[in-house]
Every structure is written in structure tokens, then in C-alpha cells.
Structure 1
Amino acid sequence: MLNRYPLWKYLMLILTLLIGLLYALPNLYGEDPAIQITSARKKIMNKNILTKIQNALKQKNIESKSVILGSDDILIRFISTDLQLKGHEVITRLLGKDYIVALNLAPAIPKWLSMLSANPMKLGLDLRGGVHFLVDVDMDTIMSKLQDNILDKLRQTLTMQGMPYINLLKGNQYEVLLRFRDTVSCDNFIKYLVSCHSDMVIQKHVGHLLTVRASDQRIQTAREYALQQNIHILRNRVTQLGLADILVQRQGEHRIIVELPGIQDTARAKEILGATAMLEFRLVNTMSDANGVIPDDSELKETRDGQAVVVYKKAILTGDHIIDSTYSTNEYNEPQVNILLDNSGGNIMSSFTRKHIGKAIATIFTEYRERSKRDINSHSALERHDEIINLARIQSSFGSSFCISGISYPQEARQLTLLLRAGALSAPIQIIEERIIGPSLALQNIKQGVTACVCGVVASIVFMIMRYKIFGLAATCALLANLILMVAIISVLPGATLTMPGIAGIVLTLVVAVDANVLINERIREELRNQRSIQKAIDVGYQAAFSSILDANITMLIKVIILYAVGSGSIKGFAITTGIGIATSMFTSLVGTRAIINLIYGGKRIHKLSI
């Protein structure tokens, strides 16, 4: 029979709509202005700190919605932004520089929705507020690493080949200078390098002097790898610290954009991004001159208590081989970091420790700090600081897993664990631009976006009802269902973040959904004018309009795919919401409205349609 849906189709539609309502519901609860308090490296979070904060807020008559003490932080929710800002001022003055007091936004959804994994839409920086950073990757460090690598290769090659030379040292412009005693040795070495090391550029000068540097292709590869590796590590770092909905993307040849929605305090964000957490394991040189003369292959480093230790320059192993790190305490209740190495690192460490039993090994922690002196562009230069955090004597051979002790505070050990797990930056970074978008500006953007969306929906509803009556009412129900399903899918989809362009995409797809219903309704009218029966006109109207609707939506989907492929940031957000809207509008326009019309008119003897 024409225009009749079986019961299972109606049940499927109702179930789909109920699920959509459930996962769209969290967006009605909004977010609470909150303060997130995390301890600095040398401080521990406890109930005493919590009590001090609560008493200070009570004295100033600042009412909090809730206070939660976590394992590493305290989260305080407030009713309004004004109370949040007042509380931030009081808590910052109370705790001083020992704690990081960050303004934040916390979802206010009830627990039963959280248990169903129903969360609100992830909002972009323009809708939620937060911090925008432009980060510069220090490519000079990459060039310096290439220079050191070439120097080590040349020294090993000269030793293996038994070639006599006068000196081997670093030159300007990241070159390596190598001087030979005679022309024969110089020419033979050039022939060997050309045949074995195509990634090196060699130039011969008077006086049997060679300058060796990395080829342009190798430099470009190293720069590209460093940039991509830093993007990957920064993304892992902020994700493991509990920051979601972040944007980390490349800009130009050596810069990265980082956007952290919901964070209003740059201090915490800077600590996350700027931390280096680079580790090296080096052998202690116990054969150094008693007169204080340090051999060429060694250098002086200091422990945290100021003890000077001579270690070999060449590292046994670096943090690049660390695949996991966890925090624990030893038998003396002292903090320690448990290290797990990859197969290559485990083999290197096992072989080295087996050959050097009884000798001391130093764990060196490296970080890059900004100098007080700035360059001509008002950017402060980065300076490397090394510190020995652990000295241990090799008692027996060990492989891919071992512990690092000698860390003073548990919070410091946890921070080091987290950063090592996220990975060490391939090159140090420097924040050269930062912008903060406040919650009030973000709220204004949301209001404007919602107003635009509501106005568009209302205008469409008024037009459809006035023009097509009951069929227009059916189209209105489908339009609202379309909006609910779009919001639900954007809320559930892992990579979807709503921005102002995303709201524009929602409005655009609502227009497309109305357009589909206009095509269907006009085709039904045309069939009625051609003296078709009412039931046949409805059936033919939906079937005939299907191909036109499908063509229009496929054309738009192709544009959306191109936008997503070549665009970035907010352009991708627009493409995602538009693509979701195309799918939901096809479903609601063709299936949803047909179900309503079939329920009203299907299988009945009708003399006149309200269209």
C-alpha cells in the first residue's frame, strides 16, 4: 500500500531521536567558571592547603559552588565569573608563587549523563575563551646537533681508517674543520667521504684544510623532522595533562600554533609547553687529572647540591629511547622514576653496563631557559642548563628497565614522569606571541551565533508553515530533529570542535534541509496539478525529488571534502559541521518528513491535501 511505513521504521526513528536528544542534552547545562590550583615542583597538595583556601574565601564572603581535592590539583567551581575573578585574586595572594592558580571552565553536566559518556560540544577558542600561543622552534639547536653528529662521524672514521691528522674542531656556520699533515692523506680522505657519506658537503682549502657540513637535503630533512616531532610531542603533552580540544598545527617553516580552549592563565600553559625534560645518561670520568685539567672528551657538570663531577661528553643513551615512565617510591619512601627503554635502548644499556661494572653513571637533566638579554627583535635567547639528578654505581648489568632516584620532591618526580612519557622535544621552543581570549568575549560570540541560528530557524519555520501548511509543519519537525541530531553528533565525535565558522556551517545546512523539503512539496503540488491521485502524488513527489536532492548534497559534500583537505583550523571546523549537517538533513528531509506525512495521510481516502 502506498505511503505506509512499517512499525519498525517508526521505532527506529523514535530511538534515533531519543539518542540524539540524550547526547545533545549536556549542551544545555553549560560550564561553571572554575579555578584550578596545581602545585609547583617542590610543593605537595593536601587537605591543609584546601582548608586554608576555603577559610580565605569565607573571610572575603566569596561563595563557591563546590571544592574538589584531586591527586595533583584542587578544582573550585563558582556561580559567576565575578566570583571566579575575586576568588582568583584571593587565592593567588594566599598561596603566592608556590602554586599555579589558573582560571578555567568546568562542564556542569550531572553525573548520570557523565556515566553515559554524554558530554557537551567541544568549543573552540573563539567560543570558549582560552590561550593562543605562537611558538618558535629553535632550529639553531638542530644545526648544532648535525654539526656534533658530523664531528663524531669524522672522528670515528679517522680512527678506523688510521689516517693521521693535525686537528678536528667545530667551525663557523655549523661546519667542521679538519686539517691533515699532507696532500695524500687529505685527498684519500675526501675520496672515502664522497663514496660513503653522500649527505656531507666537502670543500678543500689551502694548507690541507677541509670544511665539512651537512648537505642541504639533510638539513631540510632534519628541520622538517624536528618540527613535526615537536608538534606531536606538544600535542601529547597537553593531552596527558588533561587538556582536551586543543589545536596544535604548523605555521611556516619553523613555527607552531598552539590553542588551549578553556584556560585563562598563561602561567600553567607556559609551564606545560616550555618544559624540556631531556635526559642523558653519561659515564663519570674517574681518570680525570687530579690537578683539575679536564680531558678533551669530558666536561664538568654539577649535582643539585653543588658537587662538581667530570663526565664524558658522549652520552651512553638519551631520552629518545624512553617509551614509558612511571612514578613510585623506593623502600625508603623516596620518590623515583621508573624508566622503560625500547629494544634498541635496552640493548645499548645492557651492553654498556656489562662492560663497565663498578663504574659510576650520571643521569643529567637538561632544560632550556630564557636569558635576560634580548635580541634585536625583542626575543630572549635560550640558554642550556644541565644538572645531574642522579649518580649511581653500576653493580650489575641492567637492560631496558631501571629506576632513577635522587629526586627531591614527589611532585617533581610526577612532572618528570609525565613529560618523559609525552616525549622530549627535538629542539627547544620559545613562545614569541601569546593572546588571551576572555570568557566574556567568548560568551558574546556564543550569544551572537545562537541568535543567528535561531533567527534562521524561525524564519524558515514561518515560511514553511505559511507556504505548505501541514507539509510545512512536518518539515519544521524534521528541521528541529535535524538540529538535535547535528548537535548530538558534534558532541560525540572525537575530533569535532565547534567554532564561529562551525555555527555558520550549521545555519547553512539548515537552509539546505529546507531547500530539500521545498523541492519535495513543489513536486507534490505539480503532480496534483497533473490530476494524479493524492496518494500517488505524495509517493511520486518524494521519489522524483530524491535524485535532485541527492545531486545537490553530493555537490556540496565534494566542496566540503576539499575544504577539509586544504583548509586548517576554523575552516576545517566549518567543513566538519557542514558535512555532518548534509548527512542529517538527508535523513530528516527524506525519511523524517515522509514518516510524519505517512502517519497523517498514509492508507487513507483523502480528498484534499493541506499543502
Structure 2
Amino acid sequence: MKKVHKAINRYSKLQYLVIIFTIAILGLNALPNWFGEKAALHVQSNSTEMPNIDSATLFNLLTKQGIQVDSINQQQGQNIVLLDNKTQQQKARNLLATQLGEQYSVAMAMESDSPDWLKNIGAKPIKLGLDLRGGVQFVMDVDTQAAMVERKAQIEQDLSQLIRQFNARGTRITSKHNGEIVLRYPENSAQKAALSVQALVELYPELLLRVNTAQQTTLRENEQFAKTFHQALMQQNIKTMRDRIEALGITEAVVQRQGDHFIRIELPGVQDPSQARRIIGATASLDFHQLQQQGGALYKSNSGEMVRLNPSPIMSGTHITDAQSRFGETGQPEVAITLDSAGGKLMSDFTKNHIGKPMATLFSEYQQNEQGLREKNSKVISVATIQAHLGSRFTISGMGSVKATQELAMLLKAGSLTAPVTIVEERTLGPSLGQQNIDNGMAAIALGLSMMLIFMALWYRKLGLIANVALIFNLVCLMGLLSLVPGAVLTLPGIAGLVLTIGMAVDTNVLIFERIKDELKRGKSTALAIHHGYQNALGTILDANITSLITALILFSVGYGPIKGFAITLGLGILTSMFTGIYVSRALVNIFIHKLPGQVATKNPKTTRQNKRTAITSKQTTQQAQL
């Protein structure tokens, strides 16, 4: 019975189609990188009642100030202005924001310069990091401890009000450095003091109650809450930072946590960091207080007079959902405020019972003193008499200048920071230096790639040419994958990862080709040598690449900024190098080398041992020369 042998060095049609389809999709996504990007501005109306401004008006406004405009297109209800010069983007944005006012939003962005048919299918170029595009980087230190101190002070204030409410006379409150709050009360007020503490625990469930004696009670927060509170503060500050950056008109900023109490902010394309520094680093908050004749807290007003306020605010700025600067009926700048439902109810409940009485607006912010320590400065910016029953919409004034009013409106709209922040690092990178980094990086890639192509072609000949084709496919696939993966950003260390990927991709082919040479030395035919060479090298290739992939994942999970950019490029490069080195090169070998003569080994029983060794040696020399 004739034995049927399984065909080797053959891929099915489906396998070839999958390889071709993968390369085609990734190549299509890599294509926009050839055309690059242009600096752009997105201009749209903030209200449905206001029509979008026409392209001719935008063109005239910009060209009169010497700003070179490439084109203006309308897409999805907004005007997209493409600029010829990236360095004029910030100037153009400030100009349009001033000329158009708050009725229109002007955001800076980068738009692909690729043909329309590529844009229509959603293909976009790789996002460039700060070191390649230019811009500003801030590292912010979040003082969560200050927020904890403020919260403790608020707890003590609420406890004092409850003690007065339940008429627990003689009760004293003592605050300790370890965070504990101690209540001491006479025996005849013990029951009322206990009711006050019980009401406080209902307001703050995280408080732990310990009754030491019949006349003393200790309150403290559980340890788990401190960790949870710290995490919540960091997340809320990150969200507020992102909202403020959007208000500045920057669409491609990177805001991420760095370490335990730092926030890293990258603003690509921003060349004037002064406004960004003021808005991002501001810790402004707004509270509304009732005036009182005696007691309370004293604050200085804009006029220099001292104003006595009730320590408990009527409402805080956390309830503000929208704020717009405008000019009032008297011609003075003011901020129109919109509250959420809870804030509207608080304001409504207070004002309906206090018509004809004054209400103060307290503005607070953290600043550094001469010793470098943070301190909270508060001032009363306005004292107005309540003329009518207010709801969720009203106005405040008293900030003085138009610029101060606009910045206050922006801060209130984006939200107040729950913990004060300090800029501990600031770095500005110009667009020309970013372009120089790109040029140097591309030169390094071109040099490394050309040397690898020459070496592989000279050392492995035909197999080397196949490896070179697979190597080019590897770069194309990697560029396409970087363009396709959400959140992937190419940085200067990422370019180093590209160069490293070239070497790792060659390593895969070197391992396979050396195994093939070893199989040929054992006297196997070309077909069997190729088959066993790929088969035997697969385990080693997987081991090496998986360990490298684990390293890339660790760098991505614990790294920040450039380190994370390097990890992304390295990890994706490992995946594409395995794909092209194992599958693409094997497909090319199957197509172009499996038909070489001498692939089937035959046995001649009449051949002597010496002749057999001579024949094998001759065949090995011929096969290696053919490869």
C-alpha cells in the first residue's frame, strides 16, 4: 500500500488571504503618516441659536493679522481652519477667541493632511508626543493632606452647630494632631451631647465612635477611609484638570496620575504657557455666605473693609454647572451662574426667607508664601442685597477687570479643585526642536534599517532578501498598528523602540535561517531543512519575544510619559515582528524557494558509504549556494 505524505512548506489559500488582508489593513492605516499633519483650529457656536460663522469671515480675520491659512472646511457643524505654519496656531487661537467672544469656542488641534478618501475611511496618522510636536509639560503636586485638614475643620464646625442645636451646654471640642476629635461635657449634658454625636455620625458615616468615660467621647476616621478619600481626591482633581484644559481649547492634552500624589499634564502645541499655568494651577473656589452682626469669621472685601460672615456657607461652588462672563446692565463685567438641582434648591430655600438681607460671595484660593508653604487666602468679592427669590440662575460681580471675570467664569465652569495643587515642574519645548527630534529619529531608523538590509542580503542571500521584505512589512505594520490603537502616542523614546524593533525582527529571521543551515548540514533536502528550521526555531522565538513582551507590559503599567511611549512601541513592535518574521517570511519562502531543485532526498542502495558522504557534501554545498 502506497504511503501518503503530507505536503510541507504549503499554506492554504485562507492563510494567504489572512496574511494579505492583515498587511493591507495595517498598511492602509500607516499611509496617512506619509502625508503628515497640519495645525488646525476648530471653531463652532456654543449655542444652537447662534449660527456658525462663515469661512470668509474667519479667513479675513486671520489673514489681516498675517496668519497664513491653508484651507477652511465645514464638518459636523463646525469650521476646521488649517494653518500653513504650526508656530502661529496659538496666536490664531487667541485672536479668534478675542474677536468672536464666548458665543463661539475655538479649540486647537492637529488635522491630517492626507487625501479625503483616507479621511473618509477613518485613517489617521500617529499621535505625536510632546517631545516631537512641541508644547508645555506640567507636573502638579496634589496636597491631599490640606484637603483632609479642611474636612476635619468642617466636621468640627458641624459638630459645634449640632451641640448648639441640641443645647448640650458646657460641651467642649478638642482637636488632636493624630486626627481625633475629643468631646468633654458635664454629666447633666451627657445625653444631649450623645444626641449631637449621633447626628454627626449620620452625616459622616466613616467616623468611629468611642466612649471613654461618662463625660468624654472620642471621634476618629477609620484608616480605610483615609486611603479611599485620597484616591477620590486624586480622581476628582484629574477630572477637573481635564475640564479646565478643554476650556482652554486644547483637544489633545494628556492628563494622567504620576506616583502617589502627582499629576502629569502635557499640552501639545501650546507655546505660551502663562495662561495655561494660571488656569491649571489655580485653586479658586466660590462660596456664598450670610452676613452676621456678631461672631463668625472676618474677611476683607475688595474695598478693604472687614466683613463678618457666618462660617457655614449657604452653598459651595461645587453646585455650579455653568458660568459665563458678560457685561451687566451697568456696563460692569459679571459672571452669570447656573446651578444644579441641589444647588438651586439650597439657594431657593435661603433667599425666599431672606429677601432684603445681604449675601456675600467669598472667593478663596491657595497661594505659596515666602517660605514656600501653601496658605489659603479668602476675600469677599461682592456683598449684594437679595432683591428677589433666587433659583438656579443668578449673577455675581465684583472681580474688577474683564480678564479676571473671564478666568473666574472658566474656573467655575470647569469645577473647583478638591485639593490644592502646586506646579513642581514646568518644561516648554518649541516646535522647531520637536521637528529636529523627528528628523534625528528618522535618520536613526533609516541608518539602522539600511545596515540591516545590507547585512541580511549579503549574509543570507536569497533568504536574506526575503527577510528584508518581511522587515519592511514589519515597519509598515507597526506604523499602522500605532495609528490604529487608541491612546498610542509616538514619543522620542518610542522612536528608539522602533529602532530596537528592527533588530528584534532580524533576530527572528536569524534564528530561523541558522536552524535551516543546521538542517542542511545534516544532509536534509531544502524543503525539509526549511520545514524543520521554522518548526524548531518557533519555541525559541516565542520564549524570547514573550519575555520581552512581559517587560514591555511592566514598563507600560508603571511608567509615565516617555517611558510609557517606549513601552507601547516596544510591545506592539514585538507583536508585528513575530507576525512578519514567522508568518510573512514563511509565506514568501513557500512561494519563492520551495521550487528550487534538490528538495527531495533519494536513496541509492548501490552507492558506497564514501560516495554517499561525497554526494551529501556536494548537495549541501549546492543547496546553501541556492539559498
| Common topology (TM > 0.5) | yes
Is 2:503 the counterpart of 1:494? no
Question: Distance in 1 between the 2:396 and 2:79 partners?
Answer: 21
TM-score (normalised: structure 1): 0.73
Question: Which of 272, 277, 300 pairs up with 1:270?
Answer: 277
1:404 aligns with 2:393: yes
Query: In 2, distance between residues paired with 1:383 and 1:328?
Result: 23
Aligned partner of 2:255 among 226, 248, 253? 248
Pairing partner for 2:266 from 241, 259, 264: 259
Relative to structure 1, the CA distance from residue 511 to residue 183 in structure 2 (aligned partners, 3 Å threshold; closer, same or farther) is: same
Matched with 1:551 is: 543
Aligned to 1:594: 586
Percent identity over the alignment is 34
Contact 2:284–2:366 under 8 Å retained in 1 = no
- Secondary structure (helix, strand or coil) at the match of 1:51 reads helix
Alignment partner of 1:118 is 2:118: no
1:583 and 2:583 aligned: no
Question: Which position in structure 2 is the counterpart of 1:3?
Answer: 9
* Partner Cα separation in structure 2 for residue 359 and residue 54 of structure 1: 55
Tell me which of 130, 135, 138 is aligned to 1:130.
135
**2:377 pairs with 1:383:** yes
Partner residue, 1:235: 242
Stretch deviating more after TM superposition (255-264 or 218-227): 218-227
Give secondary structure in 1 for the equivalent of 2:127: coil
Deviations 1:348-376 (A, max 9, x none): x65985798565599987655576x8413
CA contact (8 A) 1:249 1:257 kept: yes
Paired residues of 1:248 and 1:259 also in contact (CA < 8 A): yes
| Distance change (3 Å), C-alpha of 1:603 and 1:306 | farther
Deviates more, 1:405-414 or 1:162-171: 405-414
Q: Secondary structure at the match of 2:489?
A: coil
CA–CA distance in structure 1, aligned partners of residues 226 and 94 of structure 2: 49
2:457 aligned residue: 465
Find the counterpart in structure 1 of residue 20 from structure 2.
14
The residue aligned with 2:433 is: 441
1:150 corresponds in structure 2 to: 155
**8 Å Cα contact 2:366/2:376 also seen in 1:** yes
- With over 3 angstroms needed to count, the CA separation of the structure-2 counterparts of 1:587 and 1:214, relative to structure 1, is closer
Match of 2:605 in 1: none
Equivalent position SS for 2:124? coil
- Counterpart amino acid of residue 32 in structure 2: P
Structure 1 residues 352 and 433: CA distance shift in structure 2, 3 A: closer
Aligned residue type for 1:233: T
Residues 44 and 79 in structure 2, CA contact (< 8 A), matched pair in contact too: yes
For the structure 1 residues 394 and 484, does the alpha-carbon distance in structure 2 shift closer, same or farther, using more than 3 Å as the test?
Answer: same
Instruction: Report SS of the residue matched to 2:64.
Output: helix
Q: Which amino acid aligns with 2:168?
A: M
- 1:231 positional shift: 2.4
Q: 1:80 to 1:153 in 2, by over 3 A?
A: closer
Mapped partners of 2:128, 2:471: distance in 1 = 23
Q: Alpha-carbon deviation of 1:224? A: 4.8
Structure 1 equivalent of residue 83 of structure 2: 77
Corresponding residue of 1:398 = none
Code of the residue aligned with 2:395 in structure 1: it is G
Q: Are residues 242 and 108 of structure 1, via their aligned partners in 2, closer, same or farther at CA, if it must alter by over 3 Å?
A: farther
> How far off is 1:189 after superposition?
5.2
Does the Cα contact within 8 Å between 2:163 and 2:171 map onto a contact in 1?
no
1:481/1:326 CA distance change after superposition, 3 Å: farther
Name structure 1 gaps, 5 residues minimum.
Answer: 396-401
| 1:240 shift after superposition | 6.8
Which stretch shifts more, 382-391 or 184-193?
Answer: 184-193
Cα offset, 1:164, TM superposition: 0.5
One-letter identity of the residue aligned with 2:293: I
Mapping of residues 168-317 of structure 1, within 5 Å: 182=186, 185=189, 199=207, 222-238=229-245, 243-251=250-258, 254-274=261-281, 278=285, 280=287, 294-296=293-295, 313-315=311-313, 317=315
TM-fit CA distance, 1:186: 7.9
CA offsets per residue over residues 22-51 of structure 1, 9 Å max, x none? 211222223335689999xxxx99787863
> Unmatched 5+ residue regions in structure 2?
1-6, 46-50, 600-622
Task: Output one character per residue of 1:276-315: Cα deviation in whole Å (capped at 9) or x when no partner.
Answer: 5756566xx5xx7xxxx6254698898x999999985534
- 1:484 paired to 2:476: yes
Of the three residues 51, 58, 82, the one matched with 2:60 is 51
Deviation at 1:415? 8.3
Residue of structure 2 aligned with 1:29, choices 28, 35, 40: 35
CA–CA distance in 2 between the matches of 1:73 and 1:280? 38
CA shift in 2, pair 1:590/1:413, >3 Å: farther
Q: CA RMSD in A?
A: 5.4
Q: Deviations over 1:451-487 (max 9, x none)?
A: 2222221111111111112211111111111111111
Query: Residues of 2 paired with 1:189 and 1:593: CA distance?
Result: 81
Give per-residue Cα distances to partners, 1:36-85, cap 9 Å, x unaligned: 9999xxxx99787863542232xxxx64434679999995612475xx49
Q: Among residues 506, 509, 531, which one is paired with 1:517 in the alignment?
A: 509
1:64-118 C-alpha deviation (Å, 9 max, x unpaired): 434679999995612475xx49x959988x979x999999865434443333222
In the other structure, the counterpart of 1:569 is 561
Following superposition, the deviation at residue 163 of structure 1 comes to 1.5
In 2, Cα distance between equivalents of 1:526 and 1:308: 92
Is 2:70 aligned against 1:65?
yes
Secondary structure at the aligned position of 2:419 is classed as coil
Q: 1:599, CA displacement in angstroms?
A: 1.6
Alignment partner, residue 456 of structure 1: 448
| Distance in 2 between residues matched to 1:311 and 1:381, nearest whole Å | 20
Q: Helix, strand or coil for the counterpart of 1:56?
A: coil
Alpha-carbon offset, residue 430 of structure 1: 3.6
Distance of 1:338 and 1:351 partners within structure 2: 13
The answer on whether the counterparts of 1:311 and 1:362 sit within 8 Å (CA) in structure 2 is no
Q: Measure, in 1, the Cα distance between the counterparts of 2:196 and 2:171.
A: 18
Q: Which moved more, 1:223-232 or 1:531-540?
A: 223-232
- Out of 510, 527, 538, the position equivalent to 2:530 is 538
1:536 shift after superposition = 2.2
The structure having more radius of gyration, on CA atoms, is 2
Is the 8 Å Cα contact of residues 288 and 315 (structure 2) preserved in structure 1? yes
Q: Which amino acid aligns with 1:473?
A: L
Question: Aligned AA for 1:147?
Answer: K
Mean CA deviation greater in 524-533 or 544-553:
524-533
CA drift of 1:274 comes to: 3.6
Three-state SS of the structure 1 residue aligned to 2:250 is coil
* Compared CA separation, residues 103 and 407, structure 1 to 2 (3 A): same
Compared CA separation, residues 460 and 253, structure 1 to 2 (3 A): closer
Q: Check whether the contact 2:508–2:541 (CA below 8 A) recurs between aligned residues.
A: yes
The alignment partner of 1:435 has SS state of strand
2:166, 2:192 within 8 Å by CA — same for their partners in 1? Answer: no
User: Does the CA-based 8 Å contact 1:249-1:256 persist in structure 2?
Assistant: yes
Equivalent residue pairs, number: 569
Residue 243 of structure 1 aligns with an amino acid whose one-letter code is: I
1:314 aligned partner, one-letter code? S
Is it true that 1:164 corresponds to 2:169 in the alignment? yes
| Cα distance, 1:228–1:158 mapped onto 2, change above 3 Å | same
Supply the distance in 2 between the matched residues of 1:355 and 1:383 (Cα, whole angstroms). Answer: 26
2:568 maps to amino acid: I
